[in-house]
Structure 1
Amino acid sequence: MKRSRKYPIHKRRGAKKSLLGILSIIFLCSGIAVILLYGVKSRGAARKPEINIAPRKPEINSAIYEASAYLGVPRKNIRFGKETEGQIKNVTIIVNSSFPPAFVNHVFQKFITDAGGVVHDAVEKGWSVNKILLAVGDSSGITHRIKLIRRHSAPVESTYVALLIDDFCVRSIRLEQKFFKLGIKFSAGILPSREFTRNIVTLLAEYPNVERIVHLPMEPRGYPDIDPGPDAILTSMSDKRIMELTMKDIDQIPGAVGVSNHMGSLATENQRVMRAVMMILRQRGLFWVDSRTTIYTVFAEIAQELGVKATKIDHLLDPEGFSKEQIEQRLFEYCLGSRGKPAVILNAHVSDTILSILAKDIPVLRRYGVKFIWVSEAIRRKAQWHRKSQKI
C-alpha cells in the first residue's frame, strides 16, 4: 500500500505565506494602476485648452436704423458721413419736432444700449433743444457720433393700427357713446343678447367711423363659475344648436362684418365647435378675429379648411391688474413699434380708463404718424403683405 506523501508543517505554512504575498502584490499593483490612470486623466483635463468666447460686437448701425424707424424717420433722412480719425462714424438724422427732445434722446439711447452699445456722452443743444448729440460705441471707446436734428418739416412715415374695443353693451350707454365720439376709425366688439344691445346698434347708425363686430360669447374654462353671458356657445351643445345660436347672435347686430370670441378659452380649443361656428361665418361672408384667450385655439386651421378669412389680435392693451400708466405705455410701445409691419390689431375693453387714455393720446399718436384703421382693413393689408412676401 502506497503511503500518501506528507509535507512538514513548516513547509505548508510557508506555502500559505507565499500565496498571501502574491495576492498582496496584485492588490498593490492594481491600486497603483488606478492612481496613475486617475492622475493622467486629471492632468489631461487640466491641460484641456479653455474656449474663449469673444464678446458680441455692438450692432450700432442696426440700432440707429431701428430707433429711426420707431420715430418714423425715412431712410433718406439718415445720413452716414465719412469716418474721422480713429474710424469714428458721423451720422446725421433728421427727426420730426413733434417728438419731444427727451423722448428722442431716450429712444436712441435705449435702442443702442439694447444692442450692446455704450452711450459715452449725450448733449442737448439749442433754445428749443433742436439738436441732440450722442457719442456712442462699445466699452473700448467711441465708434459713432450721432447728430439728431429736430425739424418741423421733417416727414414722418405712417404706421397702421386697428383698435378693437370689446364688451360694448355691458357698461352705460353714456360711457360707450363717448368712444364713438373719439373721431377715429375703430372696430367695436358688440355683445349680443344684452340689455343695451339694441340701443347701441341703433346709436351706431350715427357713427359710420365705427366698424361693427359680433363679440360672440363662448364657453371659458371654469364654466359655469365663469359666465360668458346669455346665448353663449357651449361645448356640450350639438352642431345644430351651435349654428342656430351663432346665427341668432349675428342677426342681433346688423351691419356686422366679422365675429370675435368673448371669453371662449375652452370653446375655441374644440375643433367641432369652431367648425360649426365658422360654417355660419362662411355662409354670411364674415371674418373671424381670435381674442387669444388660449394658446391652443384652433381657429387658424379650421378657417383655412373652410376658406374663412381669419386673424388674431396682436396685442392686448389692458390685461387684468395693469395700471393706467402701464396701459398707456403699452399703447405707445405697440403703436410706434408697428412701423415696418402691414398693420397691428390692438385689443382693449370698454372702461373709463381706456377712454381717458385714448382721448388724451390719440392726437399725439396721429402727429407721430399713426393712422387708425378698421380690423377689416388690417386683415386686407396683412393679406396683401403676405402675398407680396411669397413672391419675393
Structure 2
Amino acid sequence: MPKRSRSTQSRKKQHTPVRVKLLLAFLVITLVGGVGLVKYFKSPRGKAFLLERGFTVYYDEVQDAVGKQLLDALEQLRLRDRMKGRIEIKTVGGWKCYYKRWDVPCGDECDLVRVNVALTKAVRRAGLSVREAVEESDGNVLRFDVGTKKHRTHLIFIRKGERISIIDKTARPKLAIVVDDFGYSKNSLIEDIFALDFPLTITIIPSLPHSESIAALASRSGKEILLHLPMEAEEPNDSDVEMVLTSMSNRRIRQLVESYLEQIPGVSGVNNHMGSKATQDERVMRVVLSVLRRRGLFFLDSLTSHKSIAYNTAKSMGVGTARNTIFLDADASDPNIIEERLQRLVSIARQRGRAVGIAHPKRWSLDVLRKSRALCEVSGVQLVFVSELID
C-alpha cells in the first residue's frame, strides 16, 4: 500500500481546524440568532407580531404596553387627568376583543395635529400601528384607532372645545353597603333585604341552588350585583363550590372565573369570598383581574387579610377597584355591636369622603341596615352602590 506524502498529510491537518471553526461559527450564529429571536418575541413588538397571527393570549400584554405609552403621551400633553375611559367589545373571528375607549376633552386651545403626532410616536414605541387617525366634526374631534391590523386595543376620541368637568369638592361623603353570601336560600329574609329602599350592592356565590334565581330577583329589585368569587383561605375549610386555589394553573383559574361569570348575568364587578391566601398571591390575582379587565368589570377587595395585594394589583393593571372598610357583622350577632360598627363606618365616610361596609344576610343585620338610611341622612352621608366608589 503506497504511503501518503507529507504534503498530503499536512494539507489534511490544515483543513481539519477550518472545518471545526466553521462548525463552531455556525453554532454560535444559531445560538445568538435563537437568543435574539426569544428576546424579540418577549418584547411588546414581538408579542404584537404573535397576536396578529392568532396568539390572542398576548392581547392583554400588548394592550398594557401600548396603553402605558399612550398615557405617558397624554400626561406630557397635560390631557391625562381629563380622560374618561370604558371597556367596549369587538368580535374578531369569534373571539371577543375587550378594547379600551378613551374620551378626552381638550378645550378650544387644543392642537389636534400636535396630539396626533404625539400619540402616533407613542404607538410606534410600543411596536403597534395606528389603524386610523382622522379628524371628524369639522376638525373638532380626532378619532385615533390603535392596535394591530386585526385587533384593536384602544379607540381614543380627542374632543376639541368640550367643557372640562371640575370635581365638586363640596360633594357629600358617600357610603356603600354590600351584603355578601347570597345563593344558599331564597326566603322571606332575602325578600326583606331586597325591599330596603336605598342603593344596596349584593354579592352572589355561584353554583349554589338559588344563585341564578337570586340574581334575577336582585335585578328586578334594582340592586347592584357582584359575583362573590370563592377563593382560597389561609386556613383550610370546606367550600360548597370550587374555589380559586394558589396551586391552580393560570389556564384553570381563567376557566373557573369565566364559568362563574357566565352563571351570574348582569354583574357589575367581583369581590372575594374568603380568599385570605389567594389575595396575597400576585400571580393568582393578575390572572383573575385580567379576566375582569377584558369584561370591563371592577374588583372589590373584601380585605379578608390585611396582607391582601388585590387592591394595589388591580390599580397597577388599570382595573377599577375599591376595598372594604369594615365588616359590620363579622363574628357578631348582637344588633348593638353591629349598630356601633355602622356608626363608625358613617364617621369614616365623613372623614375620608367615602367608605364601604360589608354585611351578611342575617335577621339581626337586617334590623340594623333598616336604620342606615336615617343615620346617613342625619350625618350628611349619601348611600350609593359600590360601583360609585371605584378608583
State the TM-score, normalized to the length of structure 1: 0.54
Corresponding residue for 2:299?
A: 288
Corresponding residue for 1:187?
A: 201
- Residues 182 and 234 of structure 1: CA distance in aligned 2, closer, same or farther (over 3 Å): same
**Distance in 1 separating the partners of 2:270 and 2:378:** 31
Corresponding residue for 1:372?
A: 383
Equivalent of residue 277 in structure 1, options 269, 288, 309 = 288
Corresponding residue for 2:250?
A: 239
Equivalent of residue 177 in structure 2, options 163, 168, 172 = 163
**Distance in 2 separating the partners of 1:248 and 1:178:** 30
Looking at CA atoms only, which structure, 1 or 2, has the larger radius of gyration? 1
Tell me, what secondary structure is at the counterpart of 2:373? helix
Deviation track 1:231-263 (CA, whole Å, cap 9, x = no partner) reads: 311122111010000011111111111100000
**Distance in 1 separating the partners of 2:342 and 2:277:** 29
Which runs of structure 2 are paired with 1:84-95 in the superposition (5 Å)? none
State the TM-score, normalized to the length of structure 2: 0.54
Which runs of structure 2 are paired with 1:102-141 in the superposition (5 Å)? none
Corresponding residue for 2:226?
A: 213
Corresponding residue for 2:189?
A: 175
Is 2:224–2:267's contact at 8 Å kept on the other side of the alignment? yes
**Distance in 2 separating the partners of 1:217 and 1:345:** 20
**Distance in 2 separating the partners of 1:238 and 1:361:** 43
Question: How far apart are residue 167 of structure 1 and its match?
Answer: 0.7
Identity across matched positions, percent: 34
Q: CA RMSD in A?
A: 1.9
Equivalent of residue 336 in structure 1, options 342, 347, 350 = 347
Which runs of structure 2 are paired with 1:16-95 in the superposition (5 Å)? none
Is 2:278–2:284's contact at 8 Å kept on the other side of the alignment? yes
- Residues 233 and 337 of structure 1: CA distance in aligned 2, closer, same or farther (over 3 Å): closer
Structure 1: stretches of 5+ with no match in the other structure: 1-155, 384-392
Matched residues, number: 222
**Distance in 1 separating the partners of 2:348 and 2:311:** 25
**Distance in 1 separating the partners of 2:172 and 2:226:** 26
- Residues 311 and 177 of structure 1: CA distance in aligned 2, closer, same or farther (over 3 Å): same
Deviation track 1:58-112 (CA, whole Å, cap 9, x = no partner) reads: xxxxxxxxxxxxxxxxxxxxxxxxxxxxxxxxxxxxxxxxxxxxxxxxxxxxxxx
**Distance in 2 separating the partners of 1:361 and 1:310:** 24
Equivalent of residue 250 in structure 1, options 261, 264, 273 = 261
- Residues 161 and 301 of structure 1: CA distance in aligned 2, closer, same or farther (over 3 Å): closer
Residue identity in the other structure for 1:217: P
Residue identity in the other structure for 2:365: I
Deviation track 1:355-374 (CA, whole Å, cap 9, x = no partner) reads: 11112443343244232101
Residue identity in the other structure for 2:226: I
**Distance in 2 separating the partners of 1:305 and 1:334:** 27
**Distance in 1 separating the partners of 2:247 and 2:350:** 43
**Distance in 1 separating the partners of 2:300 and 2:252:** 22
Residue identity in the other structure for 2:212: R
Equivalent of residue 306 in structure 1, options 293, 317, 327 = 317
Corresponding residue for 1:228?
A: 239
Deviation track 1:343-390 (CA, whole Å, cap 9, x = no partner) reads: 1111111111111111244334324423210111012xxx4xxxxxxx
Residue identity in the other structure for 2:234: R
Say if 2:275 is the partner of 1:264: yes
**Distance in 2 separating the partners of 1:265 and 1:361:** 28
Is 2:254–2:291's contact at 8 Å kept on the other side of the alignment? yes
